[in-house]
A = this chain, B = another copy of it.
Amino acid sequence: MVITGKTALFGLIGHPIEHVGSPALINAYMAERGRDGVLIPIHVTPSDLEKVVDGLRCLRNLRGFLVTIPHKQTIVPLLDRLTEAAELSGAVNVVRRDVDGNLVGDQLDGEGFATALRKSGISLTGARIYMAGAGGVAAGIGFALARQGARAITIFNRTHSRADELTQRLRGAFPQCDVRTGDSNPRGHDIVVNATSLGLTVNDPYPMNVNGLNAAMTVADVIINPRETAFLRAAAVRGCRIQYGFRMVEEQLPLMMQAMDPVS
């Protein structure tokens, strides 16, 4: 990679920044495709976010930037436009800078998740989805799966009001999909998703009643680290097909590049 004055600029804002993996992945992705671009890590603390976003808006050779913890929600009011997925999830993980300086936020967790399922040969059309969680990641996944033709989505969340709220939003956006809240048992569904943060820590309880899992199901997690959660192990033991959390991230790389750099 040789950086010249013509090289297109991409960023990744986060705090902390040292651990991020996407700069290496995305730079390799661009290099493979002959795209003259570079993605750099940008370390921004929460108190500086507004000033930095105002500055990034003015960089004429910046095509866009990825957004990671802790800025995914707090950046929303600083942007000029949101895609439907970002609007619905209330969070952004990629921002495109239009040539007029407008910043457009998108949220690709759901698209990445759905793409990973499709690439494993799992049909989403007509699928019955069970999802634990009702936060930003869950909203993005619910939105993407409904858009891909899921027949039903059941949402289980420990805080019932949040499950109710996401249910209402999904129903409003996809009247043809049977969206409802459910209990902790995932029985009677085709695809079962953990979209909570349970599993990040070793002693976390399961996100749902794993006795409701069976070998006909595909079971997916959004937890990236550890790679294999206790929940996914419990699903594998029961004969389920499983999808690791990193697959949601992996499939987002090309989508993120498209979102920031539609010409590439």
Q: Which chain B residues lie closer than 8 Å to A53 at the CB level?
A: 55
Q: Which chain B residues lie closer than 8 Å to A44 at the CB level?
A: 58-60
- Interface 0/1 of A24-43, CB less than 8 Å to B: 10010000000000111111
The answer to whether A42 and B2 touch across the interface, beta carbons within 8 angstroms, is no
Which of B4, B41, B42, B55 meets A41, CB within 8 Å? B4
Which of B3, B19, B55 meets A23, CB within 8 Å? B3
- A41's nearest neighbour on chain B, judged by CB, is B5
User: Which A residues, 46 to 86, have Cβ-Cβ distances below 8 Å to chain B?
Assistant: 48, 51-61
* CA of A14 to CA of B45, assembled, Å: 26
Q: Which chain B residues lie closer than 8 Å to A57 at the CB level?
A: 51
- A101's nearest neighbour on chain B, judged by CB, is B48
The answer to whether B45 and A61 touch across the interface, beta carbons within 8 angstroms, is no
* CA of A27 to CA of B21, assembled, Å: 21
Q: Please tell me how many copies of the chain the complex holds.
A: 2
User: Which A residues, 234 to 254, have Cβ-Cβ distances below 8 Å to chain B?
Assistant: none
Q: Which chain B residues lie closer than 8 Å to A17 at the CB level?
A: 5, 60-61
| Count, chain A residues at interface, CB 8 A | 39
Which of B5, B15, B45 meets A18, CB within 8 Å? B5
Q: Which chain B residues lie closer than 8 Å to A4 at the CB level?
A: 20-21, 23-24, 41
- Interface 0/1 of A179-219, CB less than 8 Å to B: 00000000000000000000000000000000000000000
Chain B CB within 8 A of A173 CB: no
The answer to whether B5 and A39 touch across the interface, beta carbons within 8 angstroms, is no
* CA of A43 to CA of B6, assembled, Å: 10
Which of B18, B54, B59 meets A42, CB within 8 Å? B59
The answer to whether A43 and B24 touch across the interface, beta carbons within 8 angstroms, is no
Which residues of A line the B interface, CB within 8 A?
A: 1-7, 9, 14-21, 23-24, 27, 38-45, 48, 51-61
Q: Top 7 closest A-B pairs, CB basis?
A: A55-B55, A48-B58, A43-B60, A5-B20, A43-B61, A5-B18, A3-B23
Q: List 21 A-B contacts (CB under 8 A).
A: A3-B23, A3-B27, A3-B40, A4-B20, A4-B23, A4-B41, A5-B17, A5-B18, A5-B19, A5-B20, A5-B21, A5-B41, A6-B18, A9-B42, A17-B61, A41-B61, A45-B60, A51-B57, A52-B58, A54-B55, A55-B58
Other A-B contacts than A2-B27, A5-B20, 15 sampled, CB-CB below 8 A, are A3-B27, A3-B40, A5-B17, A5-B18, A5-B19, A5-B21, A7-B41, A15-B60, A40-B40, A41-B61, A43-B59, A51-B57, A52-B58, A54-B55, A55-B58
